[in-house]
Amino acid sequence: MKAQINTEKLPCHIGIIMDGNGRWAKEHGKPRIFGHRNGVTAVRETTEAAAELGVEYLTLYAFSTENWNRPKLEVGALMRLLVETLAKEVNTLHKNNIRLKAIGDLSKLPDSTRKALLEGIEHTKANTRMTLVLALNYSGKWDLAQAAQRLGQQVKDGQINPEDISQEAVANALSTSGMPDPELLIRTSGEARISNFLLWQIAYTELYFTPVFWPDFRKDDLYTAILDYQNRERRFGKISEQVIS
Ligand code: FPP
C-alpha cells in the first residue's frame, strides 16, 4: 500500500483525532485505561509511518479541554501515561530526528506531565525531519480566544492598530503559528465530528473518517487515509478546470 503513495503529493501536515480507546477496551472486557495504553502503540506506529513517508507535521489530539470532565481516575491515569510514554519515547524521537511540540494550555496540566513534556520539547528542539505536535488541554475555541487576547493586548500596548488584525495576524497569534495548516484530518472510531480540535486551521482541510478504533490504527490505516486524500481534487473555491495541472 505504501508503494502506491505519491510522495510528491504528500500532505505536509496531518492532524488526527484519536478516538475509540474506551470502546476498544470495552470490546476486550477491560477498563478504559487499557484502551489508552494500547493507543500508545498506535501513536508510535503512526509517528513512525508519517516520518518514514516524509510528512512534516503530525498533530495528535491527545487531551481536549473537555476531557477534564471525565472521571478523575481516568484523567489521572491518562496524565501518568503521558509521563511514562514521554520517558520511554523521547530518546527514540530524538534518534529519529523528530521534534516534539505541544499546543494547548499547558499551565493547567499536572506539574509532572508539564515537566516531562517541556523536557522532551527542549531535548528535541533542534530536530528537523518531522514535528510531532501533541495537542494537550487544547481546544480550537481556546486557541482562538487566546489569540484574540494576545492581539488585544498588542492593541492596548500600542504595538498594532485594530485594522492590522488581518487573517495572517490571527494565524500568527494562534498556538500553531509557523506551522502550515493541516491538509488532512483523520478521525478514528466512526464518529464524524471535529470536537473542538483545530478550527481556524482546518478551513480547507480534507476530512477522513475511519471506523477503526484508535488502538487498532496501524501504518496501513495511515497509508489508506493518505491514498484517499491523494485521490481527491482540492479546488479551494475554484472550478475543476482551473486546478487540474
Ligand atoms: C479518545 O478515546 C482518546 C483520548 C481522549 C486519549 C488519547 C490518548 C492516548 C492515545 C494515549 C497517550 C497519547 C500520547 C500522545 C502519548 P476515548 O476515550 O474517547 O474513546 P471512546 O470514545 O471509545 O470512549
123-167 tens-digit pLDDT:
999 999 999 999 999 999 999 999 999 999 999 999 999 999 999
- How far apart are the CA of 52 and the centre of ligand 1, in A? 24
Percent of the chain whose predicted confidence (pLDDT) is above 90: 95
Rounded-to-integer distance, Cα 241 and Cα 204, Å:
19
Three-state SS annotation for 26-62: HHCCCCHHHHHHHHHHHHHHHHHHHHHHCCCEEEEEE
The answer to whether residue 147 sits within a structural domain is no
Question: Using one digit for the tens of pLDDT, what is the confidence trace for 48-77?
Answer: 999 999 999 999 999 999 999 999 999 999
The answer to whether residue 156 sits within a structural domain is no
Torsion region of 137: left, alpha or beta (phi above 0 gives left; psi -120 to 50 gives alpha): left
* Separation in Å, CA 182 to CA 71, 153, 178, 197, 205: 31, 28, 12, 12, 6
pTM for this structure? 0.95
Bridge-partner residues for 91, per DSSP?
none
- How far apart are the CA of 24 and the centre of ligand 1, in A? 10
What is the domain count for the chain? 1
The answer to whether residue 198 sits within a structural domain is yes
- Find out whether 204 and 233 touch, Cβ atoms under 8 Å: no
Q: Indicate which residue of 6, 21, 38, 67 is catalytic.
A: 67
Residue 6 sits in a domain whose CATH number is 3.40.1180.10
The answer to whether residue 152 sits within a structural domain is no
Q: Indicate which residue of 6, 19, 69, 97 is catalytic.
A: 19
- Find out whether 23 and 95 touch, Cβ atoms under 8 Å: no
The answer to whether residue 239 sits within a structural domain is no
Q: Note down the domain range covering 31.
A: 2-139+181-230
Q: Is 172 a catalytic residue?
A: no
Which residues, 6+ apart, have CB-to-CB distance to 82 below 8 Å?
62, 63, 113, 116, 117, 136
